[in-house]
């Protein structure tokens, strides 16, 4: 019985440490203050400006490079969240960007 108790204690401790490390590194979900009011919808929100405003309201950073706006999270180990073209011409491109931003910026609590 003592081995089982020690095992579960160690596992619980490891999970707590991992969650704390993710929080300190900024890899956790954004706080409620960063969440956008409602998720993006395709095709209504398929303008480059709307997508970029949604991303910056979510707490992401954007910078312009070659005909695209690169949306990134400075605290993420992976950095780039999405690349938004200056002019979105393709439905599939818009759908992909909306999915990426909605996954990053909206959650069901």
pLDDT score of 108: 46
In this structure, the strands spanning 61-65 and 68-72 are: antiparallel
In terms of pLDDT, which residue wins out, 83 or 6?
83
| pTM assigned to the model | 0.60
For residue range 42-73, what is the model confidence (pLDDT) as tens digits? 888 888 899 888 888 888 888 888 888 988 88
Domain residue ranges of the chain, discontinuous segments joined by + = 1-30, 32-109
Indicate the CATH number for domain 32-109.
Answer: 3.30.920
From the list 77, 88, 31, 34, the residue with the least C-alpha distance to 56 is 34
């Amino acid at each position: 019985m003592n081995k089982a108790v020690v095992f579960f204690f160690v596992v619980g401790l490891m999970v707590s440490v991992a969650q704390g490390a993710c929080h300190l590194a900024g890899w956790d979900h954004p706080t409620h203050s960063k969440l956008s009011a409602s998720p993006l919808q395709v095709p209504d929100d398929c303008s480059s400006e709307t997508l970029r405003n949604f991303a910056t309201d979510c707490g992401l950073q954007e910078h312009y490079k070659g005909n695209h706006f690169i949306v990134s999270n400075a605290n993420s180990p992976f950095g780039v969240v999405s690349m938004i073209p200056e002019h979105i011409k393709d439905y599939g491109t818009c759908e992909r960007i909306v999915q990426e931003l909605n996954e990053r910026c909206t959650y069901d609590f």
